[in-house]
Structure formats: structure tokens, C-alpha cells
Structure 1
Amino acid sequence: MRFGPRESRGWLLGMTTSQLVLGVAAVWTTTRIFNTGTSAPMRVAWVVIAAACLTVAFVPLRGRTVVEYVPVVINFWIQRLTGHDVYLGGVFRMGNTDTAGFVLPGDLAHLKMINFAVDGAGGAEVAIVHDPYAKTYTGVLALEGSTFALLETAIRKSRVEAWGNLLAQLCSETAVVSRIQVLERTLPDSGDALQRDWSRRGIHDGTLQAANYEQLLAAVDGSTQAHECFVSVSVDARRAGSEIRQAGGGHTGAAAVVIREVDKLTEGLRAAGVRVEGWCSPRLLGEIIRTSYDPASRPLIQRRGGGLGDNSGGDDGLPSGVDPAICGPMRAENAWSHYRTDSAIHRCWWILQWPRQYVEAAFLSPLLLSSRYQRTVSIILEPLSPSRANRRVTIRQSGVTSEAALRQRFRRRTTRRHEVEATDVDRRESELVAGHGLYRMLGLLSVSAADLAELEAASGEIESLAQRSQLEIARLSGEHDQAFGAAALPLARGLR
């Protein structure tokens, strides 16, 4: 597979509105510099102003221009000055929710959880997250995949084709799925859960198989990693209005539509060789969120499993998972270089550029399989309908043509990058004609550590692994609180 270059969007010759304004300001200052009536000190001042405008508009800094950091810096200091950089949860927020909801910090505070009882599932409940601002309903699937890199070439090819067919099916005119998130995370695993499961449900008959299994458990040294994978499916209530009304209307009808779409996705995932463990219940989603904010709570939470119907091998008492009402952080603090919550410090990256050359389907293996720290890889996909995709490609083709005409008029050289972007737009049109889907895609990474020293070590590792995976990433300085909610939590957020 191959990824196209990141599009350079702009109004004129690839310049954005802010760059264009600053460029015009710099050109205007040149009239003051060469004005014969301007004194020498004033000319120096105008030169400094012009240089500052050009620097802010066009000089890149860690993947973004300086002008793109301006709203980030303003938002960060507004948080600091108003005290919104510190969040207090727990007993300080319990009065703002009911027993079925949850309270999260920052831009996640408006999300609501709906407990939906599935018909014919023995009273099992599914957690549906409602965003009243975006008018979306989101359900989460827990998955377990095989080691893709060890499969035969023919099997890998068939699974990649099955995944591609699934993505193409979601890009129909009548599709109601507005967003999909694939989240894979690693968590430190001491092996205690395996020991408890063996003690509770194992067959201790003294056979050779039992002895070998006990030896394997004894070899677990506490430095292993547990891999977890989730797929979030978000349904747009505005697109699915008729389906929601047919299903009963309101939150109940919307939740039923989400379950229907999740079931469709489950069939496609199984065709791609992915084992689907099932929907995420409210307490399971609460556990995912809680262990993201407070990784140190995982060993204690893993010991739970005494509820009715629990078969996870936990201790008697509390049922497995976490009550959604208390799954948020007890305290969160946003800093420029990191985001601190409870027992961990987090840092997030944006995948600025995907591989520019042809790569195999397992090109993310170094990042997914080699990490020694708690990290999350999150990919958010927004399917575009054929009409919207064609319109988007047509507009982009018109932009490429007009930019080429402007470059020729102003006698600017057409670079190889411009040629590659034009070729990539033509390739997208050919793929749409062939029946493939078009997606907006965002990739985010996050890493968690116990202290700043460990965070720096984990950050160095994640950046090295991203480089081995041929990814160009940029730290989301000043935005780690918002980025963490999109990167580490399966809530299908992040794209704008």
C-alpha cells in the first residue's frame, strides 16, 4: 500500500488565510522601508516587523508553522489564567451526574453514557456514548487479533482485502456511520490474572500438560505487556433520523441503530480474521477509561470478577470493570509538554505524515509490538459518501490546476512535491471510479509514564519506533489534554 502526501491547503499558492495576511503585511512594510521620507531607525524597525511576519507565517517548528501555534498558545494561557488547566474529579463532580452517567474532564465533559439493554442477550447492557453537540451515538467493540506478521502471505493478503471491502461498504450514500476509531494499546501485565485464572478454573490433575502450563506461568517475570484492541463505531443521528424513528425514537432508538451497525461491522471484522469478543458493557468501558487515566489502578481492577455471570477468574465481591460514574480522573493537570492524571503523566503525538513509499500491510509492527511502556495507537476514520468524495476530489483537482496556473504566471518553479500531489489526486479519482472508498484519516499516539524521567525515556522510544515504522510525528505541545481524550480513549473523537 502507499499513502499520498499530506495536502497543503491554502487560498493562494498553498498559503493559508493567516499566512496570506502576514505575507501581505510583510509586503506592505517594504513600501515603508523604501520610502525616502523614512528615517534610518524607522527603516530598521520596519525590517524587523517584515522579518517577524515572514518568520511567523512560514518558518516550520516541529511539523507546524509558528502561526499555527498562535491559537494553541492563546488557549493554553487562557486555561492557566482562568484555572481551567486543573481538573478535580471524584467527590467534586459527583453532584453533576447520575448513577448511569459519567463525568470526564475538558472537552469530554458534555458526553453522556446510555445503558442499552440488548434484546435476546439475557439482559446484557451495552454502553452507548452520546455527544449532544455533535449529535452522535458511539458504541465500542472489544477485539482480539492474531499475530498478523507471522501469517502466510496468501492469508495476509486475503485479510487485507477483506478489511478493504469492509471500508468500502461503509462509504455508501445511505451509510449512517460517521466515524470509526481503531485503538490498540499496551498495558504492563504482571501475569497475576493468568495465575488467578489457572487457580480458579484450571484442571490440576498432575498431567504433563498441567505441569508444562504451570512452568510457563512461573516464567512470567512481571515485565510483559498486555495488548488490547477496540473499535468504536459512531452513528450520526441526523443521517440516521428515519432509522432511529423506526427503532422507537430517542436514545433507545439511536442505541438500537448503533447496535445494528456494530453487528454489521462485526461480520466484516470476522471475515478479516479478527476475533470479536463483544460489545463493551458500561463497566467495561468504565474500566478502559479508568485504566487510561490511572494505570496504577489496573492490578486492583483486574482482581474484580465476583458479579453475577462473571467468569474472568476474579475475586469474590465486586463485579468486573469500573462503575462509569467514577471512571474519570480524580485530578488532571495540563502542562505545555505533558498531561498529568492521577498516577501517570501522558504525552501525545499527531501522525503528521504516513509512509511516502510503498509499504507492506504490517508496516506498523515495530510500533505495535516493540514498546516497553504503556502506549496507545489510535486511528480515526471518517467515511465519505461517493458524492461527497467525488466533490472533494473535484475541488482538489481544481485547486491543483489553479495553483499550477498561478505558479506559471508568477514564474515560480513547479516542484516535485507539486507533481506528486497532482498525481495523487488523479489516483484518488481512479480509485473512486473503481469502487474504493475515500476516508478522512487522523492518526494519534500517546504514551504514559509514572514520572517525568520515565516519560522522557518512553517518548524517545515511541519516536524511534515511529521512525522505524516510517511515520513522521509531531508532539501536540499545549494540547495534550485534548489529544489524550482522542488518542487514548475509544470515543471516536479527534477529527474536525
Structure 2
Amino acid sequence: MSASDDSSTPGTELVPVKFSRLTRRGVLLGLSVSQLVALGIGGASLVWAFYAGGGLLIAMTAPIWLVAAAITWVPVAGRPLVEWLPVVIWWAWRTTIGQLAYRRRIVVPRPEGTLALPGDMARLREYVDPETGAGMIHDPHQSTLTAIVEVTHPAFVLLDPAEQQRRVTSWGRALATVCRSGRVATVQVLERTLPDAGQGLAEWWSEHGTDDGSWPARTYAELIDRAGPAGERHASTISLSLDMKAAARQIRTAGGGIRGAAAVLRQEMTTVTAALRAADLNPGDWLGTGQIAVVLRSAYDPAIAATLERHGELGHDLATAGPVAVTETWTRLRTDSAHHAVLWISEWPRSQVYPGTFLAPLLLTTGIQRSFSLICTPMRTDQAVRDIRKKKVEYVSDASQRARIGQIEDAGQTAEYQDVLRQESDLTAGHGVLRYTGLVSVSAETVDELEAAVSAIEQAAIQSSCETRRLVGQQAVAFTAAALPLCRRV
């Protein structure tokens, strides 16, 4: 999908857009590498048996080539069996070595500067930028440095079409700015629902109310006190991850090490902040380590979220922000006070939709605690050009091969090729190219409530013209990408 960089004056009507289809084209005749390997093994065994003696050997090797044919073409949940093998094998390995359960060792001190998080996130380190006070998360294995900013904005669906179109164009320019840099590894937009602690209502009452001790004033104050914790609010953050390998030269110029990386990331933060303001979004200060700790703790322990907001500095320590216990199953994740399930948006709308409003059924679902994460991976212009050129060559060669063997070209393949041509046209016009991954994390106190909430989210996604799939066998990794603003990937 392209990020618009058009400087023309937006029109008076909101212009519909069309998403690119998920590419399902294989390496040869629609078959993926794993399918070709399985088919090659089965075919080799059959050919060997035929030339080595025929009849009896063919019967003896039948289990090999029959199983190879089955796992190559038999689909399970929309994917051939052979593509499930890595997931199942990795799950079996993790089960064997006991990686499905995490328990914090409360009597063993952690190294200074580390985050008390499970799994591969235990390697993350915290760093406080001395100039901005922003908390930065360093991943030494992936060579990334991430900063987070909370963004507020007016209700998009309540704006008039001309204002909506102007904001969409401005947001496209902001994304195009990120693409041009070449130093940004990932941009994550996280929108989550939280139990409302009543702070907003209390602040409104203190500013606009008249607390004169009368019966109406006391009744209104009691109503606010009771209604606050029962409600919910929406919080949006944008995370920016610096690719320290791509920015190695600039980091050395800035002094090297984590301090030099922070200086380079600070430049990107300034650019992104200006772009967000130009898009009429209201970025606050970049989150400090204490605020990041509250976000992480609220994701793993939703029951404490309202309490953390009400009590000032409570929970503002990254060293204790992680979960006490995590248990992963094939389809769910259990943390301190909630059960979680992560859905992957496997198909975006195939028809034209209006930006910002087509996801309204999904984002405005009430009574469900969920996090919607949009992970954007910018591609440099030269990489995007090479990728598009490679796809065009593959599509043309595949079409030629299908024509040679008499296979009919279907509409899906033609639509994918048109998507590639449209991306090439957008890139030529100066737009940026990003790869999007959409994840939805659903949380509930019990398993039954979780399944009911997942069903409601799936129905809301259908209303948004999206297709969702539950990520099985990888719920722990998916949860960190969907619910935490750390620019993690699945």
C-alpha cells in the first residue's frame, strides 16, 4: 500500500480507496517453496521406485508420495498442511523445553536497565534520553531503538467529508515522510480500550461544575464517582523504531553507541511530531519510562489499569511492569488477571472503502477490552522498485507458464497483478510504500467471556469488510505485537 505525498489541494468529498490484495502467488504455478519441496520429495520417491523395479517398489513407497501429495494440496484452515509443519514443530519444541509458561522470580534481582518481560523480550533494555526525558526501548538483537508518543484527536467520523479528506491527505504525507528517511524500521499505531478511572469526568466537574454543597451538587459528584470506573476510554499511541544498522553512519557521527542512536532517533521524533501536527493530530510529550511501565502493566494486568491511573506514581517502574505469570495455550494466552486471544487481519477490504470510517464497527465496539495494532514497515524507494520489478517478472513468467500448459488465468491473479501495477504507478508519482500488518488483541476475565468477545470482534470485522484469523501456536509472540507499543513483529 502506498503513502500519499500529494501536495495538491484536497477535494470537498472523501475519496474512497482500495487495498491491495494479500499475495497468494507461489514460486511456480501457485505453489510455495515448502509445497514444491514436499512435492519434489514425493515425486523423487515415485520416479525412483518406477525405474528401480516398478510394481512392488511403487507400492512400498506409496506412503511417501501419497503423504507428500496430501500435505502439498490438502488445506487446513485455508493453508496447505505443509505450511502448518513449521508451526507445529516449533510448538512441540517449546512444549518440550517448557517455554509455554513464565513465572517471575521475585527473589532474584534483575540486571539494572532490563525489562521484566517474558520470552525473547527479556533482552530489551531501557534508556532515558537526557534531552527530552523520553523513555527509549533498546533491542540489542534486532538493533532497534523505540520511542512512544501518545496522540489525541477529535472523532474522525463526526467531521464533514472535506475535513476528513484533508486529514487523510495529511496523514498520508506523514507516512511518506517516514518512508523517505530510510532509517525507520517500524511505525506502530496502537489504539486500545481501557477501563475509565473517571479522571476525565472528575476533571470536567472540577473545571465546570459548581460544588456548593447543595443536594444537586452532591448527587452529581456521587454519580460521577460511580459512573467513571464503569465506563471505558480509548487511548492511541504511535511508536517509532529506529533501525540502528541502517543509521550506523549517522550514529557514529553523533558519538556512537546508544547515546548516538538516541540522538538520531531524536531527529526522527522531531520530524514525526511536526508531521503529526500538520495532520491535525495532537501528539503529547514522548512517553517516559514510568508512563511506558503503566502501559505494559495495564496490558498484562487489565484489572489494575484504572487503579494505576488514579494513583499518581504507582506502577511507574519498568523493572516491575511485566507480568507475574504467563501461560500460553494453542489458541489463548493467560496473564495475571485476564485471558487474551489475538486475531490477524488476513484480508483488508477488497472493494473501495472510505478511509478512517470503514473500521468504525471494529474500533467502536463497546463493552469489549481490545487493542488494535497497525504495524507499518516502510520500504526504501530503491527496495520498493526492486520488489515491484521482481513481482512483475514473476507474474509475467507465471502467466506464460500457465498459458503453455493450458491452465486458465483466474480473476484473483489478474487482480494481484493490477495491484502491483498500481503500486508502481504510486511509487513513480512520489508516494511511499509501506507493508501493513493488522492485529487485534481481545481480553476478558474468563474463557467464556473471551470467546464471546472474540465472536463479537469477528462479526465487527465482517461489518468492516475485513477477514480475521486467530493466530494459533504463537499467541505469546502475537500478544506482544498486538497489545504492547514496542514495535514487535510476528
Fold match (TM-score > 0.5): yes
Kindly report which structure 2 residues correspond to 1:338-353, keeping only aligned pairs within 5 A, or say none: 338-353=332-347
Asked whether the 8 Å contact 2:238–2:485 carries over to 1, the reply is yes
Corresponding residue number in structure 2 for 1:89: 104
Measured against aligned partners, the alpha-carbon deviations of 1:403-437 in whole angstroms (never above 9, x if no partner) come to: 11111122211111111111111111111111111
TM-superposed CA distance for 1:212, in Å, is 11
TM-superposed CA distance for 1:28, in Å, is 4.4
Asked whether the 8 Å contact 2:198–2:224 carries over to 1, the reply is no
Whole-Å separation in 2 of the counterparts to 1:163 and 1:130: 27
Q: What amino acid is aligned across from residue 137 of structure 2 in structure 1?
A: V
Whole-Å separation in 2 of the counterparts to 1:166 and 1:324: 30
Whole-Å separation in 2 of the counterparts to 1:405 and 1:37: 35
Corresponding residue number in structure 2 for 1:379: 374
Corresponding residue number in structure 1 for 2:460: 465
Q: Pick from 450, 463, 475 the counterpart of residue 470 of structure 2.
A: 475
Against the structure 1 CA distance between its residues 411 and 152, is the aligned structure 2 distance closer, same or farther, given a 3 Å change threshold? same
Against the structure 1 CA distance between its residues 229 and 90, is the aligned structure 2 distance closer, same or farther, given a 3 Å change threshold? farther
Q: What percent of counterpart residues are identical?
A: 35
Corresponding residue number in structure 1 for 2:23: 7
Corresponding residue number in structure 2 for 1:268: 275
Q: Pick from 427, 430, 433 the counterpart of residue 425 of structure 2.
A: 430
Q: What amino acid is aligned across from residue 337 of structure 1 in structure 2?
A: T
TM-superposed CA distance for 1:47, in Å, is 5.2
Asked whether the 8 Å contact 2:146–2:239 carries over to 1, the reply is yes
Question: More deviation in 49-58 or 222-231?
Answer: 49-58
Asked whether the 8 Å contact 1:290–1:322 carries over to 2, the reply is no
Corresponding residue number in structure 2 for 1:364: 359
Asked whether the 8 Å contact 1:380–1:441 carries over to 2, the reply is yes
Q: What amino acid is aligned across from residue 146 of structure 1 in structure 2?
A: P
Q: Pick from 189, 193, 199 the counterpart of residue 199 of structure 2.
A: 193
SS in 2 for 1:283: helix
Asked whether the 8 Å contact 2:117–2:322 carries over to 1, the reply is yes
Q: What amino acid is aligned across from residue 155 of structure 1 in structure 2?
A: E
Q: What amino acid is aligned across from residue 278 of structure 2 in structure 1?
A: A
Corresponding residue number in structure 2 for 1:398: 393
Whole-Å separation in 2 of the counterparts to 1:283 and 1:64: 43
SS in 1 for 2:179: coil
Whole-Å separation in 1 of the counterparts to 2:78 and 2:468: 8
Asked whether the 8 Å contact 2:42–2:66 carries over to 1, the reply is yes
Corresponding residue number in structure 2 for 1:331: 325
Q: Pick from 64, 73, 80 the counterpart of residue 58 of structure 1.
A: 73
Q: Pick from 112, 117, 128 the counterpart of residue 104 of structure 1.
A: 117
TM-superposed CA distance for 1:21, in Å, is 1.6
**Is 1:454 equivalent to 2:449 in the alignment?**
yes
Whole-Å separation in 2 of the counterparts to 1:494 and 1:382: 10
Number of residue pairs the alignment of both structures matches = 471
Against the structure 1 CA distance between its residues 226 and 486, is the aligned structure 2 distance closer, same or farther, given a 3 Å change threshold? same
Whole-Å separation in 1 of the counterparts to 2:343 and 2:350: 19
Asked whether the 8 Å contact 2:38–2:82 carries over to 1, the reply is no
TM-superposed CA distance for 1:246, in Å, is 3.4
Against the structure 1 CA distance between its residues 447 and 30, is the aligned structure 2 distance closer, same or farther, given a 3 Å change threshold? same
Against the structure 1 CA distance between its residues 465 and 13, is the aligned structure 2 distance closer, same or farther, given a 3 Å change threshold? same
Whole-Å separation in 1 of the counterparts to 2:127 and 2:25: 39
**Is 1:409 equivalent to 2:442 in the alignment?**
no
Q: What amino acid is aligned across from residue 325 of structure 1 in structure 2?
A: A
Whole-Å separation in 2 of the counterparts to 1:343 and 1:205: 37
Whole-Å separation in 1 of the counterparts to 2:172 and 2:189: 14
TM-superposed CA distance for 1:50, in Å, is 3.8
Asked whether the 8 Å contact 2:188–2:240 carries over to 1, the reply is yes
Against the structure 1 CA distance between its residues 64 and 206, is the aligned structure 2 distance closer, same or farther, given a 3 Å change threshold? farther
TM-superposed CA distance for 1:164, in Å, is 0.7
Asked whether the 8 Å contact 2:193–2:235 carries over to 1, the reply is yes
Asked whether the 8 Å contact 1:247–1:253 carries over to 2, the reply is yes
Question: What TM-score, normalized to structure 1?
Answer: 0.88
Against the structure 1 CA distance between its residues 247 and 216, is the aligned structure 2 distance closer, same or farther, given a 3 Å change threshold? farther
Against the structure 1 CA distance between its residues 494 and 63, is the aligned structure 2 distance closer, same or farther, given a 3 Å change threshold? farther
Query: What residue ranges of structure 1 are gaps of 5+ in the alignment?
Result: 120-124, 306-318
Asked whether the 8 Å contact 1:371–1:462 carries over to 2, the reply is no
SS in 1 for 2:389: helix
Corresponding residue number in structure 1 for 2:55: 38
Whole-Å separation in 2 of the counterparts to 1:430 and 1:201: 53
Whole-Å separation in 2 of the counterparts to 1:139 and 1:232: 6
SS in 2 for 1:220: helix
Corresponding residue number in structure 1 for 2:159: 151
SS in 2 for 1:171: helix
Question: More deviation in 481-490 or 296-305?
Answer: 296-305
Q: What amino acid is aligned across from residue 433 of structure 2 in structure 1?
A: L
Against the structure 1 CA distance between its residues 29 and 58, is the aligned structure 2 distance closer, same or farther, given a 3 Å change threshold? same
Asked whether the 8 Å contact 1:90–1:329 carries over to 2, the reply is no
Query: What residue ranges of structure 2 are gaps of 5+ in the alignment?
Result: 1-16
TM-superposed CA distance for 1:385, in Å, is 1.4
Whole-Å separation in 2 of the counterparts to 1:405 and 1:347: 43
Whole-Å separation in 1 of the counterparts to 2:299 and 2:384: 35
SS in 1 for 2:400: helix
Asked whether the 8 Å contact 2:193–2:233 carries over to 1, the reply is yes
Question: What TM-score, normalized to structure 2?
Answer: 0.89
Whole-Å separation in 1 of the counterparts to 2:213 and 2:408: 76
Asked whether the 8 Å contact 1:63–1:352 carries over to 2, the reply is no
Against the structure 1 CA distance between its residues 206 and 247, is the aligned structure 2 distance closer, same or farther, given a 3 Å change threshold? farther
